[in-house]
């Protein structure tokens, strides 16, 4: 049993073989990545060996799927699909995410290096909207929020500045972690809004169940704090997960909300960036050794 279930809130100087090897290692696509775009009006993954499911039967009856263009605005002028998340009233409500292609990493027994990103729209109150809970049984309050002042975060790690999120606007919100290193970063529309640097968090509260565990990794959009109403309506265009901590440059390249999804075009913008780097390396090698390299 994970310890988190009992817890309290609060990289030759010349272009040569060695250089190419280092660059190739840096440019590798992540071991596994996943995305949900809801283009088929269900919870099926757009790509990646992952599963999104209703946490209970009631959630399935409360959930709606649709397209923007009416009361919900388009994203950058483009029609987008969405998952409508109601303001859940019961602790059993929500959505589970399980990553069948992701084993333990970061030197621990669980997933300790990862990035999760949401394209979301809040049509009303954002008062303590929970985005995810790493305890999939919802045994405690959530682990990442939109707070009542429009900041994002959680007391244990810290919060961004106020006002980075406002109602009635599409945003891309990211959470990236290397828990063994004690590093966690938050992003809004590709920009870093908060960095936590401190002691190791390995295998702790923010680590995730992996494909070696029966339990799912996340419960989304609900929490176990019953002291008030902390769940709110959301429209979700896309959810993406990568089982490593993406760099600030990678997340900046992903940008803000996009009607086509987060890791686009498939297989992902990250893999495409790697191909771009390989192309650049080829150009530099030709420039240094002559066009004979092309033969």
Q: Among candidates 35, 27, 78, which has minimal Cα distance to 265?
A: 35
What gap in Å lies between CA 245 and CA 116, rounded to an integer? 9
The answer to whether residue 19 scores a pLDDT higher than 90 is: no
Domains of the chain: 30-264 (2.60.120.200)
The answer to whether residue 39 scores a pLDDT higher than 90 is: yes
What gap in Å lies between CA 218 and CA 210, rounded to an integer? 10
The answer to whether residue 176 scores a pLDDT higher than 80 is: yes
The residue-averaged pLDDT of 47-54 equals 97
Q: Among candidates 218, 80, 88, which has minimal Cα distance to 144?
A: 218
The residue-averaged pLDDT of 78-101 equals 96
189, 255 contact by CB (below 8 A): yes
Largest CA distance in the chain: 71
285, 293 contact by CB (below 8 A): yes
The residue-averaged pLDDT of 167-185 equals 98
The residue-averaged pLDDT of 275-280 equals 48
Could you tell me which residue, 188 or 15, shows the higher pLDDT? 188
The answer to whether residue 15 scores a pLDDT higher than 60 is: no
The answer to whether residue 255 scores a pLDDT higher than 60 is: yes
Extract the tokens encoding 159.
Answer: 């919060």
Give the pLDDT of residue 230: 74
Give 73-103 as a DSSP string: PPBTTB--EEEEE----STT-SEEEEETT--
Residue 152: pLDDT band (50, 70, 90) is very high
Give the pLDDT of residue 294: 38
The answer to whether residue 105 scores a pLDDT higher than 60 is: yes
The residue-averaged pLDDT of 162-176 equals 97
The answer to whether residue 244 scores a pLDDT higher than 60 is: yes
Residue 287: pLDDT band (50, 70, 90) is very low
Residue 135: pLDDT band (50, 70, 90) is very high
The answer to whether residue 273 scores a pLDDT higher than 60 is: no
Give the pLDDT of residue 286: 45
Where are the extended beta strands (E) located within the chain?
33-36, 50-54, 64-67, 81-85, 95-99, 113-121, 129-133, 144-146, 152-154, 158-159, 170-178, 183-188, 191-197, 218-220, 234-242
Quick one: which H or E segment has residue 42?
none
Q: What's CA 198's distance to the chain center, in Å? A: 21
What gap in Å lies between CA 207 and CA 109, rounded to an integer? 9
Give the pLDDT of residue 222: 93
Extract the tokens encoding 43.
Answer: 């919870």
71, 233 contact by CB (below 8 A): no
Statement: the pTM of the whole predicted model exceeds 0.85? no
- CA angle, 158 then 189 then 86, to 5°: 75
Residue 281: pLDDT band (50, 70, 90) is low
The residue-averaged pLDDT of 24-47 equals 79
Residue 274: pLDDT band (50, 70, 90) is low
């Amino acid at each position: 049993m994970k310890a988190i279930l009992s817890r309290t809130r609060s990289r030759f100087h010349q272009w040569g073989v060695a250089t190419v090897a280092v660059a190739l290692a840096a440019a590798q696509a992540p071991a596994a990545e996943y995305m949900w775009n809801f283009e088929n009006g269900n919870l099926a993954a757009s790509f990646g060996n992952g599963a999104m499911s209703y946490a209970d039967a009631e959630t399935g009856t409360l959930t709606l799927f649709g397209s923007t263009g009416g009361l919900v605005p388009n994203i950058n002028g483009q029609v987008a699909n969405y998952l409508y998340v109601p303001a859940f009233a019961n602790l059993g409500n929500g959505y589970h995410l399980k990553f069948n292609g992701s084993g333990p990493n970061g030197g621990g027994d669980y997933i300790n290096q990862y990035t999760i990103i949401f394209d979301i729209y809040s049509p009303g109150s954002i008062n303590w909207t929970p985005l995810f809970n790493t305890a999939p049984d919802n045994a405690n309050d959530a682990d990442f929020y939109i707070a009542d002042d429009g900041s994002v975060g959680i007391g244990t790690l810290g919060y961004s500045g106020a006002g980075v999120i406002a109602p009635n606007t599409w945003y891309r919100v990211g959470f990236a972690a290397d828990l063994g290193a004690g590093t966690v970063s938050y992003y809004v529309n590709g920009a870093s809004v908060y960095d936590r640097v401190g002691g190791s968090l390995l295998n702790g509260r923010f680590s995730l169940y992996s494909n070696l565990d029966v339990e799912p990794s996340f419960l989304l959009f609900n929490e176990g704090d019953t002291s008030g109403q902390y769940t709110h309506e959301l429209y979700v265009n896309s959810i993406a997960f990568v089982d490593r901590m993406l760099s600030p440059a990678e997340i900046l390249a992903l940008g803000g909300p996009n009607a086509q999804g987060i890791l686009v075009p498939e297989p992902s913008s990250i893999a495409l960036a790697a191909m771009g780097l390989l192309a650049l390396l080829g150009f530099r090698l030709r420039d240094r050794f002559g066009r004979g390299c092309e033969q």
